Amino acid sequence: MDKKVAELLNDQINKEFYSAYLYLDMANFYSNKGLDGFANWYEIQAKEEQDHAMLIYQYLHNNNEKVTLEAIAKPDKTFTTLLDPLTAGLAHEQYVTSLINTIYAAAQEVKDFRTTQFLDWFIKEQGEEEKNSSDQITKMELFGDDARSLYMLNEELKGRVYSAPSLVL
Rg value, the chain, Cα: 17
Supply the range of the domain harboring residue 132: 3-158
Whether 163 maps to a domain, the answer reads no
CATH number for the domain that contains residue 67: 1.20.1260.10
CB atoms closer than 10 angstroms to residue 108: 14
Task: Please tell me the distance from the alpha carbon of residue 116 to that of residue 21, in angstroms, as a whole number.
Answer: 27
38, part of any domain: yes
Position 164 in a domain: no
Instruction: Flag whether pLDDT at 169 surpasses 80.
Output: no
Domain count, the chain: 1
Is-contact 64 114, C-beta < 8 A?
Answer: no
| Domain-located, residue 165 | no
Answer whether 51's CB lies under 8 Å from 84's CB. no
Q: What is the pTM for the complete model shown?
A: 0.93
Residue 50 located in a structural domain: yes
Residue at 45 is within a domain: yes
* Span 51-107, pLDDT tens digits: 999 999 999 999 999 999 999 999 999 999 999 999 999 999 999 999 999 999 999
Per residue in 100-154, pLDDT tens?
999 999 999 999 999 999 999 999 999 999 999 999 999 999 998 999 999 999 9
- Asked, for residue 168, whether it belongs to a domain, the answer is no
End-to-end alpha carbon distance in the chain: 15
Q: Does 166 reside within a domain?
A: no
